[in-house]
């Protein structure tokens, strides 16, 4: 579903990504871990088609992002650090706006349903600017999935969420996985990574240093592998 080959990214004479190779199958849920500044968000932005790689190949659904970027973007739901929401709009107005951009049918019903799913029906018509960090994140999650994307790219999605919202988010990811959605999720939260992902990738200094399956929700395995990589022990 996602095929990344020899990917590099250079900015200001600094090599941010230094030859990344990743293959992700349809329906897989993959966590990307790594220290601050490792290049995780940069990698996700390239896959989302927001920035261009310096060299290398990114293919999704068999299409090259360089040639078929527009076609690919329709299949992607991207949740960045920033919410992308319009502050003075309500959740309903935001979701309808983004839904229309993607050509979602019966967009109002879909928007109302999603606001309900993220537990904010009571605030359907209130401006987002008055929302707390966690409330904004809930609506941002709804925005990322308004068009029912085949590929979900999430950059630290659990940040700012309370326990209830974490459960909602995890259920969203798992429900979409059951429908065949492929998810790449950057996170610093090992527990969430172990709980909802099939596979873990560790990025360090712009390089992929580990890539393994995680079974039985083993947070110990994730913690151990991560520590080993960061200490540079092999
Ligand atoms: N446009 C840019 N120009 C110059 N350097 C950049 C640019 N974007 C990112 N960087 C640098 O690239 C490195 C990787 O940044 P990135 O945001 O991908 O890290 P990250 O792994 O997501 O970190 P975090 O865990 O803190 O979110 C950092 O050193 C950052 O300063
Ligand atoms: Mg980041």
CATH of the domain at 210: 3.40.50.300
pLDDT band (50, 70, 90) for residue 234: very low
Residues with Cβ within 8 Å of 89's Cβ and at least 6 positions away in sequence, in order, are 97, 127, 128
- What is the residue with the minimal CA distance to atom 27 of ligand 1? 36
Ligand 1 center from residue 39 Cα (angstroms): 5
* pLDDT mean over 208-228: 88
Confirm if 208 and 202 have CB atoms less than 8 A apart: yes
pLDDT recorded at residue 151: 96
Q: How large is the average pLDDT for residues 3-10?
A: 97
Query: Is the model more confident about 178 or about 231?
Result: 178
Over residues 92-102, mean pLDDT: 96
Is the confidence at residue 232, as pLDDT, over 80? no
Q: Higher pLDDT residue, 234 or 79?
A: 79
- In this predicted structure, the answer to whether residue 160 has a pLDDT above a threshold of 90 is no
Closest ligand 1 atom to Cα of 188 = 25
- Near ion ligand 2, which residues have CB within 5 Å? 41
- pTM, full prediction: 0.92
CB 8 within 8 A of CB 18: yes
Q: How far is the CA of 35 from the centre of ligand 2 (A)?
A: 9
Q: Is a pLDDT exceeding 70 seen at residue 1?
A: yes
> Number of structural domains, the chain?
1
More reliable by pLDDT, 91 or 219:
91
Span between the terminal Cα atoms of the chain, in Å? 30
Nearest CA residue ID for atom 7, ligand 1: 11
CA of residue 40 to ligand 2 center, whole Å: 6
Radius of gyration of the chain (CA): 18
User: Which residue range is the domain that position 13 belongs to?
Assistant: 2-231
Position 69 scores a pLDDT of 81
How far apart, in whole angstroms, are the C-alpha atoms of residue 175 and residue 178? 5
pLDDT tens digits, one per residue of 17-51? 999 999 999 999 999 999 999 999 999 999 999 99
Residue nearest to ligand 1 atom 16, measured at CA? 39
């Amino acid at each position: 579903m996602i095929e990344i080959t020899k990917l590099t990214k250079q900015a200001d004479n600094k090599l941010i990504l230094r030859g990344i190779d990743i293959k992700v199958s349809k329906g897989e849920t993959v966590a990307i871990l790594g220290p601050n500044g490792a290049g995780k968000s940069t990698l996700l932005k390239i896959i989302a088609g927001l920035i261009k790689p310096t060299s290398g190949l990114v293919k999704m659904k068999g299409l090259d992002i360089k040639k078929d970027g527009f076609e690919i973007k329709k299949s992607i739901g991207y949740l960045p650090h920033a919410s992308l929401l319009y502050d003075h709009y309500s959740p309903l107005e935001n979701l309808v706006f983004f839904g229309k951009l993607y050509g979602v049918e019966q967009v109002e019903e879909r928007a109302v349903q999603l606001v309900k799913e993220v537990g904010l029906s009571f605030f359907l018509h209130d401006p987002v600017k008055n929302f707390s960090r966690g409330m904004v994140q809930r609506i941002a999650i709804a925005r990322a999935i308004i068009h029912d994307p085949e590929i979900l790219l999430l950059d630290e999605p659990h940040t700012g969420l309370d326990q209830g919202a974490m459960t909602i988010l995890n259920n969203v990811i798992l429900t979409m996985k059951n429908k065949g959605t492929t998810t790449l999720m950057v996170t610093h939260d090992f527990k969430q990574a172990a709980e909802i992902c099939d596979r873990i990738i560790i990025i360090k200094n712009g390089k992929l240093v580990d890539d393994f399956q995680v079974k039985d929700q083993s947070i110990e395995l994730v913690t151990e592998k991560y520590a080993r990589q960061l200490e540079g022990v092999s």
